[in-house]
Structure 1
Amino acid sequence: MLCQLSINNFAIVRFLELDFRAGMTSITGETGAGKSIAIDALGLCLGNRGDANSVRPGSTKAEISARFSLDDVPLAKRWLEDNDLELDNECILRRTLNSDGRTRAYINGNPVPVTQLKHIGQLLIGIHGQHAHHAMLKSEHQLTLLDSYANHKLLLDAVSSSYQRSKQIESELKQLQLSQQERIARKQLLQYQVEELDEFGLKPEEFEEIEQEHKRLANGSELIESCQAGLSLLCEDDEANIESLLNKAVSLADTLAGLDPKLANVAVMLNEALIQVQESASELEDYLSHLELDPEHFAQLELRLSKAMQLARKHHVSADKLAIHHQLLSQELADIDGDETKLNEIAAQLEINKQAYLSHAQKLSQSRCRYAKELDKLVTRSIHELNMPKGKFTIAVNFDAQMLSSNGCDHVEFLVSTNPGQELQPLAKVASGGELSRIGLGIQVITAKKVATPTLIFDEVDVGISGPTAAVVGRMLRSLGDSTQVLCVTHLPQVAGNGHQHMFVDKFNKAGSTETTMRPLDKEQRIQELARLLGGDVITENTLANARELMQSA
């Protein structure tokens, strides 16, 4: 619950430090005194948007700090732990607002983004403003109120998750469908190109082999002549050849080595040279014996080489890269076929996910219908207590499988009948301002009891209510305060008298400057304030007696 609120230089507050207790705290004050300033300051501390005009005139910075006890608030504790922001068993939120509009946010002394203030704030405080009744006229807000009462978060999460998944699949499917015409045109071109290259059938590295073979055959005559000349020089010339000369040199070297062992190495080297010459001659003879100059084979090679170069020019690649290009085109064609298969798979997947979504949405709708009936009875009973004895309240939940959203397929509408014989009609068409306030307040109190928020603030939600009805409202809020900390800004003595404690807001001028203060009232001071609310500025014994009676009845 909220334990302490400190406000510095905010609006017309110079400095204010307030301690809060459990139960219901009534907050009253004269019109214009600034009863809602503390609520506005707390809202800033909870992540609401900051306005530079909120900084007190003459000051450079406003600062608001709120301290909460985390007893019985496990969700807030877990959130702080998950974000490495825990501090014993409490949470301190702080927000600064500079006169130039810049703000800073802190949780337990750690600088954080404002969004984190909002996250933790939703777990600590629920604020019901005086305009909440008008928001209740909107269907989406009515749906939110019903879901808050039902508290079926797991069902909502399942529907939302399934919906987001469907949207993701739909987007993927749409992208594939948008590019389908382009893929069809590209596929037709690829099929023609791949068929042409398939027919030619050039293998990897084949072009280099063809090129080498073509070069060999094109120079066949020169190869034969050169090989024969080489053989003649090595071993076949009758007058002089390298082999015979080396044989003589080897014989001479052997004689010299016999005369002087130091020349033995010369004999070895000459022997090795003779062996190399003989092997070279043998390879040349073998090469010549297998060398065939086949004109027909040469023509075929030349034709294939020419075709490869022609296709390479056509596909804007070098001839030695044509086989790789062929592989890439084949792969792209296979990928396009795969995309078409994928498109069918995604379409089937989307249908499966939509069915899963509808299944989750139907379960959510069934839960809403169940809790709507429960809430119907409670709100109807509440408005009977709030001086609408013949009123009837019903929540219509209509499931529409075509109306897909992250909140399900339900259209929720609050229907009301305020007079006997009157048909149930939409809330906006039937209820007057006062009736709307009473119905709205009843719903807020009932739903607040179901939501595990440790602190609830009601900011002048009793506008349009008076007399005996106000006393009922006060009792309702006090009853709520038995289990939840309630802060209630009110102008009604019947409501204020039901508070477990009471704070008074006062505005005064000091040295040409306006300031607002807020202070707790003791029992006698409360009676004086209730008397003022009952009778205005002139307080009589009768108004004091009425004030005491209000206190005693509470």
Structure 2
Amino acid sequence: MLLQLNIQNFAIVRNLDLEWHQGMTTITGETGAGKSIAIDALGLCLGERATTNTVRPNCKKAELSATFDIANNTAAQNWLKTKDLNLDDDCILRRIISAEGRSKSYINGSQVPLIQLKELGQLLINIHGQHDHQLLTKASEQRKIVDDYADHCHLLDEVKYYYKQWQQLNNELKSLQDSQLQREAKRQLLQYQVTELDEFSLQEDEFLQLEGDYKRHSHAQSILTESLIALDILSTNEQFNVNDSLGKAIENLSAFSHIDADLANITNLLQESLIQIEEASNDLRHYHDKLELDPQAYAAIEERYSLALQLAKKHQVAPEKLPQLHASLSQELANISQDESRVLTVIDEIEKTEQAYFQSAEKLSKSRQKSAKALSKKISTSLHELNMEHGKFHVDITHNDSKALSPNGIDEVLFLVSLNPGQALEAMHKVASGGELSRISLAMQVILADKVVTPALIFDEVDVGISGPTAAMVGTKLQQLAQKTQVICVTHLPQVACKGHQQFFVAKLTDGAHTETTVTELSQQSRVKEIARLLAGDKITDNSLANAAELLAG
């Protein structure tokens, strides 16, 4: 509930600090005094857009803050937790608006975007302006009222879930169908590429081996010739070879190695070299003996090596990367094939989702129809209490024949009324005046009081067009509503003002140069005078005072 509202330099208000009570609070004042000034300021605290005349003339900024008790408001507490804002039993919404139009918003001392004030505000209080009853003529609002009364959120959520799923599947199907031609062209290209790579079937690391074999075979004749020449130099030439010459040198030096130790070391090194040359000669001989010219093997290697280079150039990759490319293209081809299969799967899922949607929508429709009967009866009774003795109210629910899916189900909800004897039920907007709509709206608010989520309701002159006995019943209904939730009502009717547990009086003061609006909480004695003024106008008589006291006592 609203606990406190502080207003500084707002419009023609210099400074106001108002404390609000549980139950029903009424706000009255002279015409033009600005009875709705507190409601306008509260609206800014709740995230409404500021106008150019928000800041009091000759002031730099307007400051507005509203304090709410949220100890029993689970929805507001959860919202604050999710936004990681300070959580306490009291919640403070604050707004600072500069004369240039810049605005800053705060929740519990933390600066927040304006949209967050609006989100939280919807969980704290609900403001009904004098023209808000016109919303009752909208089909969406009529459906919402029936759903609020039925209190079947689980059925609504189920319908919305299947509708969202159905939407997502249809979007996916459209995307798949839109890209079908491109997919088919891509599939044909991939199929050709994968088939070509399948046939070549280059294995991992095969290209490096292939490259080595190709180079060896392409130089085989030169290698044979050079290796034979090297063997001749090292060991096979009978006239001169390295092995024999080095052996002779070692033999000649060995004869003197016992004379000079340095010569012995040189002889040992030459002996080691001879051993290595002999091993190299043997290895080279074995290599030469195994090396052979095989034109057919060379042709096969050359062909595969050349094809690998061609494919690599064609796909613009390094030859050794062809196996990875092959795997990647194969996977892409498999994915496209899966997309083709997915089209059929999605069509089947859409059909199943539609069936589930209509089953849930039918359950929702039955719940609405059941609640509509009870709501029609209750509102008709309430209209009689509001001096519309011939009033009949009926909630008409029909199925939407278009078979189009909607997040709200398959029902068309229409409020029908008859206000005069013998008059047929017709759409409410065709037969109800503004005052009658106000009474119907009030009747609904009272009936839906148990379903009210926000712990405070504000009625800003919703009793326009109402007078006499009807006004008294409106006051009684508002007081009845205040048993369930905090009610704040801006009114010009004494029959409504007297029903408040608390009453504020709004006055406009001027010294000729400056104008200021004040709001004062009335004592019981002051309330008698104010109610008498509402009854009799500026000339308050003893009779009007007595009448006012009687109204307040009632």
TM-score, scaled to structure 2: 0.92
- Measure the CA separation in 2 of the matches of 1:159 and 1:263: 106
- Cα gap change, 1:324 to 1:482, in 2 (>3 Å): closer
| Aligned partner of residue 53 in structure 2, secondary structure | helix
| Aligned partner of residue 66 in structure 2, secondary structure | strand
In structure 2, the residue matched to 1:50 is 50
How far is the alpha carbon of 1:148 from its aligned partner?
2.8
Contact 1:3–1:67, Cα closer than 8 Å, also in 2: yes
In structure 1, the residue matched to 2:366 is 366
- Measure the CA separation in 2 of the matches of 1:270 and 1:261: 15
- Cα gap change, 1:270 to 1:340, in 2 (>3 Å): farther
In structure 1, the residue matched to 2:65 is 65
C-alpha deviations, 1:410-457, integer Å up to 9, x for none?
A: 322112222333332221122233322221221123223421322111
Contact 1:149–1:451, Cα closer than 8 Å, also in 2: no
- More deviation, 315-324/274-283: 315-324
Equivalent runs, 1:22-171 vs 2, <5 Å: 22-171=22-171
- Cα gap change, 1:431 to 1:268, in 2 (>3 Å): farther
Contact 1:52–1:98, Cα closer than 8 Å, also in 2: no
| Aligned partner of residue 488 in structure 2, secondary structure | strand
Contact 1:456–1:485, Cα closer than 8 Å, also in 2: yes
How far is the alpha carbon of 1:399 from its aligned partner?
4.1
- Cα gap change, 1:463 to 1:208, in 2 (>3 Å): same
Unaligned runs of 5+ in 1: none
How far is the alpha carbon of 1:488 from its aligned partner?
0.5
| Aligned partner of residue 407 in structure 1, secondary structure | coil
In structure 1, the residue matched to 2:20 is 20
Amino acid in structure 1 at the alignment position of 2:517: T
In structure 1, the residue matched to 2:239 is 239
Equivalent runs, 1:364-443 vs 2, <5 Å: 364-400=364-400, 402-443=403-444
- Cα gap change, 1:117 to 1:291, in 2 (>3 Å): same
- Cα gap change, 1:161 to 1:251, in 2 (>3 Å): farther
- Cα gap change, 1:286 to 1:477, in 2 (>3 Å): same
* Counterpart check, 1:213 vs 2:213: yes
Equivalent runs, 1:422-501 vs 2, <5 Å: 422-501=423-502
Contact 2:155–2:364, Cα closer than 8 Å, also in 1: yes
How far is the alpha carbon of 1:186 from its aligned partner?
1.0
C-alpha deviations, 1:246-295, integer Å up to 9, x for none?
A: 33445456666656667665455434323322222222222222222122
- Measure the CA separation in 1 of the matches of 2:358 and 2:249: 102
C-alpha deviations, 1:7-29, integer Å up to 9, x for none?
A: 11111111111111111111111
Contact 1:9–1:59, Cα closer than 8 Å, also in 2: yes
C-alpha deviations, 1:50-78, integer Å up to 9, x for none?
A: 22321112112111111122342233233
Contact 2:435–2:463, Cα closer than 8 Å, also in 1: no
- More deviation, 382-391/68-77: 68-77
Amino acid in structure 1 at the alignment position of 2:100: D
| Aligned partner of residue 136 in structure 1, secondary structure | helix
Q: Determine what percentage of the aligned residue pairs are the same residue.
A: 52
- More deviation, 153-162/23-32: 153-162
Contact 1:151–1:451, Cα closer than 8 Å, also in 2: no
In structure 2, the residue matched to 1:172 is 172
Amino acid in structure 2 at the alignment position of 1:471: A
How far is the alpha carbon of 1:216 from its aligned partner?
2.8
How far is the alpha carbon of 1:3 from its aligned partner?
1.3
- Measure the CA separation in 1 of the matches of 2:470 and 2:230: 126
- Cα gap change, 1:549 to 1:249, in 2 (>3 Å): same
How far is the alpha carbon of 1:476 from its aligned partner?
0.8
- Measure the CA separation in 2 of the matches of 1:254 and 1:495: 137
How far is the alpha carbon of 1:126 from its aligned partner?
1.4
- Cα gap change, 1:403 to 1:507, in 2 (>3 Å): farther
How far is the alpha carbon of 1:382 from its aligned partner?
0.7
- Cα gap change, 1:327 to 1:365, in 2 (>3 Å): same
Amino acid in structure 1 at the alignment position of 2:420: N
How far is the alpha carbon of 1:82 from its aligned partner?
3.8
- Measure the CA separation in 1 of the matches of 2:116 and 2:70: 17
| Aligned partner of residue 398 in structure 1, secondary structure | strand
| Aligned partner of residue 26 in structure 2, secondary structure | strand
In structure 2, the residue matched to 1:295 is 295
Amino acid in structure 1 at the alignment position of 2:457: L
C-alpha deviations, 1:185-226, integer Å up to 9, x for none?
A: 111122223223333334444444444433333333221110
- Measure the CA separation in 2 of the matches of 1:539 and 1:59: 38
- Cα gap change, 1:269 to 1:446, in 2 (>3 Å): farther
| Aligned partner of residue 482 in structure 1, secondary structure | coil
C-alpha deviations, 1:467-489, integer Å up to 9, x for none?
A: 11111110011112223211111
Contact 1:52–1:97, Cα closer than 8 Å, also in 2: no
- Measure the CA separation in 2 of the matches of 1:393 and 1:184: 60
C-alpha deviations, 1:503-537, integer Å up to 9, x for none?
A: 11111213512211111112222122222212222
- Measure the CA separation in 1 of the matches of 2:337 and 2:268: 70
- More deviation, 66-75/56-65: 66-75
C-alpha deviations, 1:142-186, integer Å up to 9, x for none?
A: 122223333433443444344334333433332222212101011
In structure 1, the residue matched to 2:183 is 183
Amino acid in structure 2 at the alignment position of 1:429: K
In structure 2, the residue matched to 1:329 is 329
- More deviation, 423-432/163-172: 163-172
Amino acid in structure 1 at the alignment position of 2:91: C
Amino acid in structure 2 at the alignment position of 1:463: V
In structure 2, the residue matched to 1:196 is 196
CA RMSD of the aligned region, Å?
A: 2.6
- Measure the CA separation in 2 of the matches of 1:240 and 1:147: 114
In structure 1, the residue matched to 2:540 is 539
| Aligned partner of residue 177 in structure 1, secondary structure | helix
How far is the alpha carbon of 1:122 from its aligned partner?
1.7
- Cα gap change, 1:295 to 1:434, in 2 (>3 Å): same
Amino acid in structure 2 at the alignment position of 1:534: L
- More deviation, 477-486/270-279: 270-279
- Measure the CA separation in 2 of the matches of 1:163 and 1:279: 85
Amino acid in structure 1 at the alignment position of 2:125: I
- Cα gap change, 1:74 to 1:264, in 2 (>3 Å): farther
C-alpha deviations, 1:282-309, integer Å up to 9, x for none?
A: 2222222222212233333344444444
Amino acid in structure 2 at the alignment position of 1:498: K
How far is the alpha carbon of 1:545 from its aligned partner?
2.6
Contact 1:434–1:465, Cα closer than 8 Å, also in 2: yes
Contact 1:132–1:440, Cα closer than 8 Å, also in 2: no
* Counterpart check, 1:226 vs 2:226: yes
- Cα gap change, 1:296 to 1:74, in 2 (>3 Å): closer
- Cα gap change, 1:343 to 1:246, in 2 (>3 Å): farther
- Measure the CA separation in 2 of the matches of 1:186 and 1:436: 63
| Aligned partner of residue 405 in structure 1, secondary structure | coil
- Measure the CA separation in 2 of the matches of 1:78 and 1:250: 100
Equivalent runs, 1:262-273 vs 2, <5 Å: 266=266, 268-273=268-273
- More deviation, 197-206/54-63: 197-206
In structure 2, the residue matched to 1:277 is 277
C-alpha deviations, 1:81-129, integer Å up to 9, x for none?
A: 4433335421111111111111111112121222222222122111111
- More deviation, 60-69/250-259: 250-259
Contact 1:449–1:480, Cα closer than 8 Å, also in 2: no
Contact 1:535–1:543, Cα closer than 8 Å, also in 2: yes
- Measure the CA separation in 2 of the matches of 1:349 and 1:275: 82
Count of matched residue pairs: 553
